[in-house]
């Protein structure tokens, strides 16, 4: 798919310096630019590359002033990074597929909006409702009475179990599983476990991203809820009856135990673990590999295992590496105290 620099500038609202008729057919990193490619400059440490890049066009800040002549066409925009993301989204939308595969298994009563794409070997059960522009890639499964909103994309191998609700403008990446049974078992006197039926569902609101091979379990009763704007990376586990507030972001391999409520605008690093039945406030930041075992107030910044105030944790970690020398010094002091005590006792 090819676009001129002029067409690209019109899409993102940029100003051109250079050849407006140059043709762009690919995206490129600025340091590895290719002819016909478009790149962006947002981080100052990459500035030297703009004088050597082979990319045909580069998005730059409106305030950028080159120190030397540049070999490429510039498109000036207030936020090059955001503009580049919008441009990639525009390109992705232009190349999306349409139509319904003859190899798909679709129940007779499924309701579909306009411009729906359904790929090979997709299975859609009875009672499903699909909004406009829904894209369902091969090998997906959609269970009974699932509702999927407008402009939502299910990448290959996504599974959505019965009664779940997916909002508008969501993206579920390959292998994500929504609405599998929560991990509920009741211990018995003979040390065996009786399975507790999971009778609720999962509600995913608008503008949510769920990463590849992530799991959001259905609730025992009621709903597991992922509020609007949440972004979950790959390999994340959200257990039954959890609630994640709007615009919260989690990096890969986070695990959230059952019935935990997480506020809005939180940031979780990779491999964060959160215990069950906790309440995490708004605007909370948790560093990578931290283990949260207690309720957390708004605006807290946590680090460590178990997680505690990030500043205190950094100070503790700084001291920790000196513990061997501290131990030796303490041993020397104990030896000196013993010797002094023995001398005093002899007097």
- Name the residues annotated as catalytic: 240
Inter-residue contact 302 to 287 (CB < 8 Å): yes
Q: At what angle do helices 5-12 and 80-94 cross, to 10 degrees?
A: 110
C-alpha to C-alpha distance for 19 and 55, rounded to whole angstroms: 13
Q: Are strands 185-187 and 193-195 parallel, antiparallel or unpaired?
A: antiparallel
SS3 of 25, please? coil
C-alpha to C-alpha distance for 255 and 237, rounded to whole angstroms: 5
* Closest-CA residue to 100 (of 146, 136, 153, 154): 136
Please, what's the largest Cα pairwise distance for the chain?
103
| 214 DSSP assignment | -
Cis peptide leading into 125, omega within 30 of 0?
no
């Amino acid at each position: 798919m090819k676009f001129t620099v002029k067409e690209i500038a019109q899409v993102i609202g940029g100003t051109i310096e250079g050849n407006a008729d140059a043709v762009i057919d690919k995206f490129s990193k600025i340091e590895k630019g290719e002819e016909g490619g478009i790149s962006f400059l947002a981080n100052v440490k990459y500035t030297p590359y703009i004088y050597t890049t082979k990319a045909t066009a580069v998005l730059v800040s409106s305030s950028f002033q080159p120190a030397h002549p540049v070999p490429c066409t510039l498109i000036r925009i207030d936020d090059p990074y955001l503009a580049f993301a919008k441009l990639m989204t525009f390109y992705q939308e232009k190349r999306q597929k349409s139509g319904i595969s003859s190899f798909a298994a679709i129940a007779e009563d499924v309701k579909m909006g306009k411009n729906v794409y359904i790929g090979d070997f997709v299975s859609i059960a009875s009672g499903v409702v699909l909004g406009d522009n829904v894209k369902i890639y091969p090998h997906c499964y959609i269970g009974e009475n699932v509702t999927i909103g407008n402009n939502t994309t299910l990448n290959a191998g996504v599974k959505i179990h019965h009664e779940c609700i997916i909002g508008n403008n969501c993206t579920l990446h390959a292998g994500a599983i929504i609405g599998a049974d929560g991990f509920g078992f009741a211990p018995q006197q003979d040390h065996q476990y009786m399975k507790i039926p999971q009778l609720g569902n999962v509600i995913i609101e608008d503008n949510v991203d769920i990463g590849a091979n992530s799991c959001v379990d259905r609730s025992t009763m009621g709903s597991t809820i992922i509020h609007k704007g949440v972004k979950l990376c790959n390999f994340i586990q959200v257990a039954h009856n959890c609630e994640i507030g709007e615009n919260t972001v989690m990096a890969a391999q986070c695990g959230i135990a059952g019935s935990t409520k997480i506020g809005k605008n939180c940031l979780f690093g990779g491999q964060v673990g959160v215990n069950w039945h906790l309440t995490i406030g708004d605007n909370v930041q948790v560093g990578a590999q931290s283990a949260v075992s207690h309720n957390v107030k708004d605006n807290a910044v946590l680090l460590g295992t178990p997680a505690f105030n990030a500043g205190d944790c950094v100070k503790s970690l700084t001291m920790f590496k000196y513990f061997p020398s501290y131990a030796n010094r303490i041993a020397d002091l104990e030896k000196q105290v013993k010797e002094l005590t023995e001398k005093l006792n002899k007097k």
